[in-house]
């Protein structure tokens, strides 16, 4: 299986450093976003965006939205310049990046953080189990597809991971802190606030009536529970 990293940057020193850190990966550098290399579903791919370079180009935020919409693998950003709190929040909340790295980090820390995100997306248990079923919900890991009663759904990578996490913990009450750690691998306040928004989106996708959810229910004062809904119950309705 091919393993490649797309570095969006024109910084030759950053390219050289990344090749030294990720010796087992093919590192490709481009000054702009090139989605063509992402079309091979049999490859493991990671995107690393140089925010300093992105700012110098005067790129529009639309490009970041497009990257996250088209790419379902690990999406990371790296920077040297000091970022405002608002910019950091945008990286995670608006554009749904998985990690924000700093050029001030050591090679060892950069390697560890990148490897963790790779593991999160391409961990063996998800590759070995191709289909996950709960009631009329079905998740196809090989093709990153979700369907309800045979109807295919379109969702982003964060919502996909959130749904899978709930399905893997069905009939278990989960706190927001557990969800944040299990899906985002962090407990930032911004992440905690984003959970409710993503759950609302999930309900609109998978529930017959999002206001009276059968699968994804709120447990007041605790968090959420993903309940198994028997197929005959849904058919009777």
> How confident is the model at residue 39, as a pLDDT?
44
Question: Does residue 128 register a pLDDT over 50?
Answer: no
Of 105, 122, 139, at which residue does a domain stop? 122
Contact of 22 with 31, CB cutoff 8 Å: no
191-200 average pLDDT score: 84
pLDDT tens-digit series, residues 69-94 = 777 788 999 998 788 888 888 888 88
CATH of the domain at 113: 3.40.50.2300
> How confident is the model at residue 127, as a pLDDT?
41
> How confident is the model at residue 67, as a pLDDT?
80
Question: Does residue 95 register a pLDDT over 90?
Answer: no
One domain, residues 86 and 171: no
Question: Does residue 45 register a pLDDT over 70?
Answer: yes
CATH of the domain at 139: 1.10.10.10
Helix (H, G, I), strand (E, B) or coil at 13: helix
**Comparing 20 with 41, which gets the higher pLDDT?**
20
Contact of 201 with 194, CB cutoff 8 Å: no
Total number of domains in the chain: 2
Q: From 157, 165, 26, select the one nearest 98 (Cα to Cα).
A: 157
Backbone angles phi, psi at 144, to 5 degrees: 50, 50
pLDDT interval class at 129 (50, 70, 90): low
One domain, residues 139 and 106: no
Question: Does residue 27 register a pLDDT over 60?
Answer: yes
> How confident is the model at residue 188, as a pLDDT?
66
pLDDT interval class at 184 (50, 70, 90): confident
Burial class from Cβ neighbours inside 10 Å (0-12, 13-18, 19+) for residue 195 reads buried
Q: From 111, 114, 146, 140, select the one nearest 126 (Cα to Cα).
A: 140
Output the CA torsion sign for 135, 193, 174, 183: positive
**Comparing 69 with 14, which gets the higher pLDDT?**
14
* Helix ranges, the chain (H): 12-21, 51-57, 61-70, 85-93, 107-122, 124-128, 157-168, 176-179, 189-206, 231-236
Question: Does residue 230 register a pLDDT over 80?
Answer: no
One domain, residues 92 and 148: no
Most confident of the following: 36-50, 63-77, 89-103: 89-103
Percent of the chain at pLDDT > 90 equals 30
One domain, residues 151 and 102: no
Q: Could you tell me how far CA 145 lies from the centroid of its own chain?
A: 14
Backbone angles phi, psi at 98, to 5 degrees: -90, -25
Q: Which domain holds residue 105?
A: 3-122
């Amino acid at each position: 299986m091919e393993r490649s990293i797309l570095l969006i940057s024109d910084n030759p020193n950053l390219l050289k450093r990344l090749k030294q850190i990720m010796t087992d990966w093919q590192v490709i550098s481009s000054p702009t976003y090139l989605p063509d290399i992402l079309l091979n579903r049999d490859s493991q791919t990671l995107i690393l965006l140089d925010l300093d370079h992105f700012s110098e180009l005067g790129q529009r935020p639309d490009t970041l939205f497009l990257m996250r919409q088209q790419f379902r693998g690990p999406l990371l950003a790296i920077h040297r310049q000091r970022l405002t709190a608002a910019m950091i929040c945008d990286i995670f909340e608006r554009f749904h990046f998985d990690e924000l790295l700093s050029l001030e980090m050591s090679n060892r820390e950069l390697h560890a953080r990148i490897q963790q995100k790779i593991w999160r997306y391409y961990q063996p248990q998800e590759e070995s189990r191709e289909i996950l079923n709960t009631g009329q919900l079905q998740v196809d890991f090989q093709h990153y597809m979700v369907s309800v009663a045979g109807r295919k759904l379109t969702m982003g990578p964060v919502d996909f991971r959130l749904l899978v996490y709930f399905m893997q913990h069905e009939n278990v009450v989960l706190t927001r802190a557990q969800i944040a750690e299990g899906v985002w691998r962090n407990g930032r306040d911004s992440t905690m606030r984003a959970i409710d928004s993503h759950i609302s989106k999930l309900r609109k996708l998978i529930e017959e009536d999002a206001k009276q959810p059968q699968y994804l229910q709120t447990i007041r004062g605790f968090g959420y529970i993903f309940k198994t809904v028997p197929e005959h119950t849904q058919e009777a309705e």
